[in-house]
């Protein structure tokens, strides 16, 4: 394939390739590959790498195509249409990859970027803690500088992919005093270091999608620091907010949700209240689809409206499916597991409370929530 290709031609090429190869892909699992699909996910990442669809907008010296974010956007769109994952995992190809390109040394770029595209380096995110989820800046995991190494102690939780990742992006406190946003560093962490313990978290669905990670006197080389020491908050926030999304993928996702809402009545005799609830859910899904079509290619605070509303809509739909299933919905099966999993949507990806704060402060112009900037040691 030639790199001198316009967006429309590239999109047609990608669609044709996916039509031939999508049957070999795992199902579209979203941002994070589930543990049970990791082997298929790695094989798929290497397949798209060989075809030239990994790191489409990354520089060629790091294994990418050197094309534009628009080229990458149509790849995401065609993958959404085909129902396949566009990358192995978002943490490695978006967060870690983006951070290393922007802040990494030449040595870090050479060590990690091509290896991440090749799925030789698989990444997890070591941000959230038991006491620092939505308020990430209050994290307490310590990384104490000791010559050419950091000594790390603490605990991370809700880590996706910790069991199968060989690298992690770690945010830890390197300066314990002062404002809580200051003194955090962003460090690239090998997951096989002595003193790192990974424990699967058992969910009420019976699954273990996430892990908790414990650090006990872990000796982490100081040259794994990414960006300025004590400046990791800026590194993390720049990466989380700079990646451009694509309008088409949101519209396709909402259309699929809308189709699911409309199928709830299939093969059932419904009472008037159930019919009314299905009609309400279909109307809500249609409204969010329209909002997705209006949102531009760059993420904005409107994304908080989408996240808050779709989370609640999905919760209501899961509860309705359970009601329609009757007594069977209290046992096992997709209806029962859907009800058990639904509350987690209000936490994952930014809690509903955080989304309401963003909407109130940034969209409605309400006063900011009172908060203390001084961290208690």
- Work out the average pLDDT over 132-141: 82
Lowest mean pLDDT among 38-47, 194-203, 244-253, 364-373: 244-253
- pLDDT recorded at residue 376: 43
Specify the pTM.
0.82
Torsions phi, psi for 183 (to 5 deg): 90, 10
Q: Map out the domains of the chain with their CATH numbers.
A: 7-88 (no CATH), 123-233 (2.40.110.10), 247-363 (1.20.140.10)
- Work out the average pLDDT over 228-251: 74
Per the model's pLDDT, the better-predicted residue between 376 and 347 turns out to be 347
Using only C-alpha atoms, the chain has a radius of gyration, in whole angstroms, of 22
- pLDDT recorded at residue 188: 98
As a three-state string, the secondary structure of 157-221 is EEEECCCCCCEEEEEEECCCCCECCCCEEEEEEECCCCCEEEEEECCCCCCCCEEEEEEEEEEEE
- pLDDT recorded at residue 3: 54
Q: How many residues would you count in the chain?
A: 377
pLDDT tens for each residue of 240-281: 765 545 555 666 777 777 787 778 777 778 888 988 998 898
- pLDDT recorded at residue 1: 44
Q: Are 101 and 61 in contact (CB under 8 A)?
A: no
Per the model's pLDDT, the better-predicted residue between 376 and 198 turns out to be 198
- pLDDT recorded at residue 377: 44
pLDDT at 374 over 90: no
- Annotated catalytic residue, options 243, 361, 369, 373: 243
pLDDT at 204 over 90: no
- Work out the average pLDDT over 199-227: 92
- pLDDT recorded at residue 248: 57
- pLDDT recorded at residue 333: 79
Q: How confident is the model at residue 229 (pLDDT cuts 50, 70, 90)?
A: very high
Token representation of residue 346: 């209000």
Per the model's pLDDT, the better-predicted residue between 250 and 137 turns out to be 137
- pLDDT recorded at residue 298: 52
**Quick check: is 243 catalytic?**
yes
Q: How confident is the model at residue 199 (pLDDT cuts 50, 70, 90)?
A: very high
Buried b (16+ CB within 10 A) or exposed e, 318-350: bebbbebbeeebeeeeebbebbbbbebbbbeeb
- Work out the average pLDDT over 294-303: 61
- pLDDT recorded at residue 296: 56
- Work out the average pLDDT over 12-28: 96
Q: What is the mean pLDDT of the chain?
A: 87
- Work out the average pLDDT over 301-309: 77
């Amino acid at each position: 394939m030639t790199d001198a290709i316009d967006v429309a031609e590239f999109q047609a090429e990608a669609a044709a390739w996916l039509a031939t190869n999508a049957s070999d892909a795992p199902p579209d699992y979203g941002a994070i590959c589930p543990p049970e699909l990791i082997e298929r996910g790695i094989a798929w990442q290497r397949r798209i790498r060989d075809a030239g669809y990994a790191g489409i907008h990354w520089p060629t010296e790091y294994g990418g195509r050197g094309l534009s974010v628009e080229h990458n956007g149509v790849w995401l769109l065609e993958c959404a249409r085909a129902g396949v994952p566009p990358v192995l995992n978002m943490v490695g190809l978006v967060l870690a990859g983006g951070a290393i390109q922007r802040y990494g040394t030449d040595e870090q770029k050479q060590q990690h970027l091509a290896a991440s595209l090749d799925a030789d380096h698989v990444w997890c995110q070591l941000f959230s803690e038991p006491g620092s989820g939505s308020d990430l800046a209050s994290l307490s995991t310590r990384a104490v500088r000791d010559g050419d190494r950091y000594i790390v102690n603490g605990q991370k939780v809700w880590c996706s992919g910790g069991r199968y990742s060989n690298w992690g992006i770690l945010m830890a406190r390197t300066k314990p005093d002062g404002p809580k946003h200051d003194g955090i560093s962003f460090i690239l962490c090998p997951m096989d270091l002595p003193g790192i313990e990974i424990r699967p978290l058992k969910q009420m669905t019976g699954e273990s999608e996430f892990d908790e990670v414990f650090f006990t006197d872990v000796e982490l080389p100081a040259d794994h620091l990414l960006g300025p020491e004590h400046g990791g908050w800026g590194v993390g926030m720049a990466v989380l907010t700079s990646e451009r999304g694509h309008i088409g993928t949101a519209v396709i996702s909402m259309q699929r949700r809308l189709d699911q809402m409309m199928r709830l009545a299939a093969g059932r005799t419904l009472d008037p209240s159930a019919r009314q609830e299905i009609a309400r859910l279909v109307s809500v899904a249609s409204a969010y689809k329209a909002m997705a079509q209006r949102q531009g290619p760059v993420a904005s605070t409107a994304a908080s409206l989408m996240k808050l509303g779709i989370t609640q809509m999905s919760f209501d739909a899961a509860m309705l499916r359970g009601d329609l299933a009757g007594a069977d919905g209290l046992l096992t099966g997709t209806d029962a597991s859907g009800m058990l999993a639904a509350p987690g949507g209000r936490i994952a990806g930014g809690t509903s409370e955080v989304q309401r704060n963003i909407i109130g402060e940034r969209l409605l112009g309400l006063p900011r929530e009172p908060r203390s900037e001084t961290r208690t040691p």
